[in-house]
Copies of this chain bind each other. A is one copy, B any other.
Amino acid sequence: MTDEATMKAAMQAYIDAFNRSDAAAIADLYADDATVEDPVGSPPKTGKRAIAEFYQMAVATGARLELAAPIRASHGKAAAMAFDVRLNMPQGRAHIRVIDVMTFDEAGKFTSMKAYWGKSDMVLEQ
């Protein structure tokens, strides 16, 4: 069942898995034929293998995710959340302001993820 609480719990599980650098746990949140478009405007990754590889690279950066506001559900099979990606760059500490939108299947797995962030959302902190 994909009710609002289930969708929000999956979104929070995504944040938590990322923050313990657990790429396999993130990939497990996705349906087998899911797509990931991160950032929106780039070619989507399709299927669990490509998605797992994407998150292995992502967590290897040591980045951490911090919700910027409570996770939103919807009246359909979709939810959205605003967060900041905190990371260390050669130039110093930085964050990227992101909004992720996920769609869900009946089992509560993500069928798609779209990450909205642009160059203007990357902020060098010092």
Q: Name A18-49 residues within 8 Å CB distance of B.
A: 39-42
Question: Which of B8, B75, B119 sits near A39, CB closer than 8 Å?
Answer: B75
Contact between A78 and B8, CB atoms less than 8 A apart: no
Identical copies of this chain, number: 2
Task: Look across to chain B and name the residue whose beta carbon is closest to the beta carbon of A5.
Answer: B120
Q: What residues on B are CB-neighbors of A70 within 8 Å?
A: 97, 121
Instruction: Give the size category of A's interface with B.
Output: 20 to 34
Contact between B98 and A82, CB atoms less than 8 A apart: no
Q: Is A68 positioned at the interface, with any CB of B under 8 Å from its CB?
A: yes
Contact between A116 and B41, CB atoms less than 8 A apart: no
Give me 4 other A-B pairs in contact (C-beta within 8 A), A42-B76, A72-B117 excluded. Answer: A4-B119, A73-B118, A74-B118, A80-B116
